[in-house]
């Protein structure tokens, strides 16, 4: 069985947070999975804008995981805003920060943030032998107000929200602590046959940009370009991410996509 959940958010309740390329990201990925990886359209669920609430994304992840058995191939993509926020748990993260993605209804509260811990709870249900690839074309840093100049014509935004002052201040104090250690990879990824491809390092931002007069996330654009290159067939996931990094470096984009997870999956082909 092959199943995919794709969530892309261009429009948030506050227009200042709007992005441009996230829906193109998930539509492009859906087309790639159907045409080149033999996914059935009926087994791909797409959530966009107001439909990509926290509740709907969690429901979609459970749909993705339900009934999974050894040999199945599962795929999840999130394109939208990401953030870090101070952990409210008494026994929280070693770095005292929660890494979150920002659903449509995100408002900087625990109730609306989709945390790495919640992904852990869902991933932990997967049986051995299931291959799960997760692409997160979003930010996981706290330098949220900074924007970069485009080296090519177009729009360049960062996929991370500017936090309220009190949250930004607390996060800065946590990061300044000598005991702060960034650990933003869910534990389940290390235990299961699961790989996470993220748009950037934890202290960087992912670009929402324009390529050939069309909006896309920089990670998604170059990932699909590398996977679809007929002249040079795609290698392992690790090699593909390396090619994406070279493409971004060539056009001087200040982000470095990462891959972490199961060695078997990272050293294998993309489905």
Residue 106: phi and psi, rounded to 5, are -65, 135
3 state DSSP class of 258: strand
Active site residue: 102, 139, 140, 200, which one? 139
Q: For helices 54-65 and 116-123, give the axis angle rounded to 10 degrees.
A: 20
Give one DSSP letter per residue of 207-249, joined into a string: EEEEETTEEEEHHHHHHHHHHT-SSS---BHHHHHHHHHHHHH
Asked about 81 being catalytic, the answer comes back as: yes
237-243 own/partner pairs: CB under 8 Å, 24+ apart: 237/133, 237/195, 237/197, 237/265, 237/266, 237/267, 237/268, 237/269, 237/270, 238/266, 238/267, 240/270, 241/197
Instruction: Give all strands of the β-sheet with 97-101 in edge-to-edge order.
Output: 82-86, 97-101, 114-115
Q: How many CB atoms lie within 10 A of CB 68?
A: 19
Q: Are 245 and 235 in contact (CB under 8 A)?
A: no
**Distance between start and end Cα atoms, the chain:** 12
Active site residue: 81, 102, 140, 200, which one? 81
Residues tagged active-site: 81, 139
């Amino acid at each position: 069985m092959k199943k995919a959940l794709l969530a892309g958010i261009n429009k948030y309740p506050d227009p200042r947070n709007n992005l441009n390329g996230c829906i193109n990201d998930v539509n492009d990925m859906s087309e790639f999975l159907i045409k080149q990886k033999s996914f059935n359209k009926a087994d791909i669920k797409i959530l966009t804008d107001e439909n990509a609430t926290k509740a709907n994304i969690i429901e979609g992840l459970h749909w993705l995981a339900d009934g999974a058995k050894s040999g199945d191939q599962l795929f999840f993509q999130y394109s939208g805003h990401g953030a870090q926020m101070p952990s409210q748990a008494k026994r929280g993260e070693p770095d005292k920060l929660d890494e979150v993605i920002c659903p449509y209804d995100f408002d900087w509260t625990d109730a609306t943030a989709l945390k790495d811990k919640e992904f852990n709870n869902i991933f932990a249900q997967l049986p051995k032998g299931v291959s799960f690839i997760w692409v997160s074309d979003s930010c996981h840093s706290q330098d949220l107000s900074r924007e970069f100049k485009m080296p090519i014509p177009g729009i360049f935004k960062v996929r991370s929200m500017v936090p309220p002052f009190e949250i930004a201040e607390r996060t800065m104090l946590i990061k300044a602590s000598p005991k702060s250690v960034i650990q933003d990879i869910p534990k389940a990824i290390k235990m299961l046959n699961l790989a996470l491809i993220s748009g950037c390092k934890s202290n960087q931002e992912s670009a929402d940009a324009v390529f050939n007069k069309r909006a896309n996330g920089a990670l998604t654009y170059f990932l699909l370009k590398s996977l679809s290159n007929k002249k040079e067939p795609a290698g392992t996931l690790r090699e593909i991410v390396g090619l994406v990094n070279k493409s971004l470096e060539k056009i001087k984009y200040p982000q470095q996509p990462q891959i972490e997870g199961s060695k078997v999956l990272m050293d294998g082909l993309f489905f």
